[in-house]
Amino acid sequence: MPAFIVITTSNFYDPSFWSGLDIGPNSTIDASALNDQVDITITGNSIEFNVAGYNWTFSDSDLASGSFSEVVQFEGNDGNSTVGGSVGLDASGYIGGSGDDTFVDDGLDGGALDGGDGDDILTGGVGNNNIDGGKGNDILHGGDGNNNLDGGHDDDILYADNGSGNLIGGHGDDIVYAGLNTTYAAGGSGSDTLYVPKV
């Protein structure tokens, strides 16, 4: 069954906390209570915390049962979060804080990626994705599927990739690379550059 896991400053490093967890399909990790000194990395079979050069890593074998690949929703703290980059980690919703986040939706179903503040790199997968860079100088990749990309504030770079859908740069000086299947592309306010592929 789905787990709702709240990570705090008192439990993230504790092996007994992780050994009591069953991370089943469609689980959620909420790390918003951690301070901005904690950087988080979640891949398909592990979670890693980095604080001032010290690292704590927990893998699937440290859990009571289940797998980190079952995490489909994640809310980050104000540190730097990296989620994805391993086949099987399927995002229905990843939300970043004010750090510089990297989110990759590796699944087939599509989802929502929200970078929040900071300079983020957000990459959609095969499904239909809603990707919002938020504040900061962000890089957004639509992936495949019917996608909506919004750079938000500041100077962003948007790539349609192979998908269809809408690309909006938002506020700031943006670079927008439309694709052959792009439905709508606009830079928004600011001095923008729009690239349209030749047919």
| pLDDT tens digit sequence for 108-167 | 777 899 999 999 999 998 889 999 999 999 999 998 889 999 999 999 999 999 888 999
Query: How much is the mean pLDDT over the chain?
Result: 92
Residue with tokens 């729009």: 194
SS3 state of residue 113: strand
Position 87 confidence tier, pLDDT thresholds 50, 70, 90: low
Residue 18's φ and ψ, nearest 5 degrees, are -70, -35
- From 89, 107, 127, the end of a domain falls on 89
Structure tokens at 92: 């229905």
Kindly state whether residue 105 falls inside one of the protein's structural domains: no
Question: Residue 76 burial by CB count (10 A; 0-12/13-18/19+): exposed, middle or buried?
Answer: buried
CA nearest neighbour of 136 among 110, 167, 172, 161: 172
Mark whether 10 and 67 lie in a shared domain.
Answer: yes
What is the per-residue pLDDT across 3-56, written as a single tens digit (0 to 9) for each?
A: 999 999 999 999 999 999 999 999 999 999 999 999 999 988 999 999 998 999
CB 147 within 8 A of CB 165: yes
- The number of distinct structural domains making up the chain is 2
Cα–Cα–Cα angle for 157, 198, 111, rounded to 5 degrees: 40
Per-residue confidence (pLDDT) for residue 86, from 0 to 100: 66
Total residues belonging to the chain: 199
Q: Tell me the sheet residues that pair with 22.
A: 65
Q: Tell me the sheet residues that pair with 5.
A: 29
Kindly state whether residue 102 falls inside one of the protein's structural domains: no
- From 89, 109, 137, the end of a domain falls on 89
CA distance linking residue 3 with residue 123, whole number of Å:
25
CB 147 within 8 A of CB 168: no
* Structural domain of 193: 117-199
Kindly state whether residue 40 falls inside one of the protein's structural domains: yes
Kindly state whether residue 140 falls inside one of the protein's structural domains: yes
Mark whether 198 and 132 lie in a shared domain.
Answer: yes
Q: Tell me the sheet residues that pair with 188.
A: none
Mark whether 77 and 124 lie in a shared domain.
Answer: no
Kindly state whether residue 103 falls inside one of the protein's structural domains: no
Mark whether 126 and 191 lie in a shared domain.
Answer: yes
The secondary structure of residue 61, as a DSSP letter, is G
**HEC states along 75-94?**
ECCCCCEEECCCCCCCCCEE
Mark whether 122 and 84 lie in a shared domain.
Answer: no
Residue 148's φ and ψ, nearest 5 degrees, are -120, 120
Mark whether 55 and 131 lie in a shared domain.
Answer: no
Mark whether 130 and 51 lie in a shared domain.
Answer: no
CA distance linking residue 37 with residue 68, whole number of Å:
22
Mark whether 83 and 140 lie in a shared domain.
Answer: no
Kindly state whether residue 157 falls inside one of the protein's structural domains: yes
- From 46, 69, 89, the end of a domain falls on 89
Position 190 confidence tier, pLDDT thresholds 50, 70, 90: confident
Kindly state whether residue 98 falls inside one of the protein's structural domains: no
Per-residue confidence (pLDDT) for residue 91, from 0 to 100: 75
Quote the pTM value: 0.91
Top-confidence residue, 23 or 187: 23
Mark whether 131 and 173 lie in a shared domain.
Answer: yes
